[in-house]
Chain A
Amino acid sequence: MDPKSAAIIASGLAVGLAAIGPGIGMGNAVAAAIEGIVRQPESVSKVRTFMFIGLAFMEVLALYALFVVLIFLVKFIF
């Protein structure tokens, strides 16, 4: 396998694998937030704020992988 195709396969795998964890975590977080809102409808704005902060922290984990892959692709392929 030549290095270029290895780099392409590696970058695809990296983004895909990095999306698993944050995907599960964000699913759990949104499920818990909806449950909280259904139990206590008057707390919508507070729950939404905390949910977004939490989602932002989880999302950045997948984005780190995407960042590394983009640097990789720009450097080795484009």
Chain B
Amino acid sequence: MLDIQIGHHWISHIGPLEVNMDTVITAWLAMGVLLALAIFITRHLNRIPGKVQTVAELTLEFIEGLSVGQMGKEGYKHISLIGSLFLFILVANLMGQLPWRLLPLPGEFASPTNDLNVTLGLALLVSVYYIGAGLIKKKLAYFKHYFQPFWFIAPMNVLEDFTRPMALSLRLFINILAGEVLVLVIGGLVPVFAAVPLMLFELFIAFIQAFVFAILAASYVSGAVADEH
């Protein structure tokens, strides 16, 4: 039999709360990597960009295109949210492919995004942000869109605000978790080499999932701040 365990976290207690220490540590590590990269890249900025600066500028242009492509001119205001989400999720997803199991660590060190708590936190952040952005842009007129196109659709529109964070968080969480379980299963069946193509595919999935999360967040914000015709 394969000896596979899912969701056995290294739990420690802070007061009455349970904390998944492995998730917290890897999440902070992902943030640390991003912060270190940002400081390293912006330390010696040049008018004629070097290699590192070119890559950074291309990344920024990609994020800008993602945000502005969804929202138009409005998109420049929300680049910080979309870009932070994209970069954090990308780094967090890629961290799952590091050889954590070679180290004698307790719990399940992998991507922080294979924990529902992290992805649900990110998704709730997005839903608070888009409702807040809509309220700031349109004041109380924001609530009018619940009654579009007919007044009796209102319950469905309210329900949508709840299903959006659920779908957003479950999509990311399950994609990453399923990828890791798949690599574990194939690695358990054929111990040598068979899992390598799958791991390469997981790198692709990591990028796609970060892209989808960012673009859906952008389209939700765009729907909340869009002008009505």
State which of A60, A63, A74 has its C-beta within 8 Å of the C-beta of B6: A74
- Shortest 8 CB-CB contacts between residues of A and residues of B: A63-B174, A56-B212, A60-B171, A60-B167, A67-B174, A66-B174, A74-B6, A52-B212
B6 touches A78 (CB 8 A): yes
Residue B124 is within 8 A (CB to CB) of chain A in the complex? no
| CB proximity to B under 8 Å, residues A61-78 | 63-64, 66-67, 70, 73-74, 78
Please give 7 more A-B residue pairs, beta carbons under 8 A apart, in addition to A45-B69, A59-B171, A63-B171.
A46-B69, A49-B70, A59-B175, A60-B171, A63-B174, A63-B175, A67-B174
| CB proximity to B under 8 Å, residues A22-58 | 45-46, 49, 52-53, 55-57
Chain B min CB distance to A5 (Å): 14
- Most-contacted residue by chain A among B5, B70, B175 (CB, 10 A): B175
User: Which B-chain residue is minimally distant from A56 (CB atoms)?
Assistant: B212
- Count how many pairs of residues, one from A and one from B, have CB atoms less than 8 Å apart in the complex: 43
Residues of chain A touching chain B, judged by Cβ–Cβ distance below 8 Å, are 45-46, 49, 52-53, 55-57, 59-60, 63-64, 66-67, 70, 73-74, 78
State which of B6, B177, B208, B216 has its C-beta within 8 Å of the C-beta of A53: B216
- Residues of chain B within 8 A of A74, CB atoms compared: 6-7
User: Which B-chain residue is minimally distant from A62 (CB atoms)?
Assistant: B174
A78 touches B5 (CB 8 A): yes
How far apart sit A55 and B65, CA to CA, in the bound complex (Å)?
20
Residues of chain B touching chain A, judged by Cβ–Cβ distance below 8 Å, are 4-7, 65, 69-70, 167, 170-171, 174-175, 177-178, 208, 211-212, 215-216, 219
How far apart sit A53 and B6, CA to CA, in the bound complex (Å)?
29
How far apart sit A73 and B185, CA to CA, in the bound complex (Å)?
15
User: Which A-chain residue is minimally distant from B181 (CB atoms)?
Assistant: A70
- Most-contacted residue by chain A among B5, B70, B178 (CB, 10 A): B178
How far apart sit A67 and B178, CA to CA, in the bound complex (Å)?
9
User: Which A-chain residue is minimally distant from B66 (CB atoms)?
Assistant: A49
A60 touches B215 (CB 8 A): no
A63 touches B170 (CB 8 A): yes
How far apart sit A49 and B67, CA to CA, in the bound complex (Å)?
11
9 contacts between A and B (CB under 8 A): A49-B69, A49-B70, A52-B208, A56-B171, A56-B216, A60-B171, A70-B174, A73-B6, A78-B6
How far apart sit A62 and B26, CA to CA, in the bound complex (Å)?
28
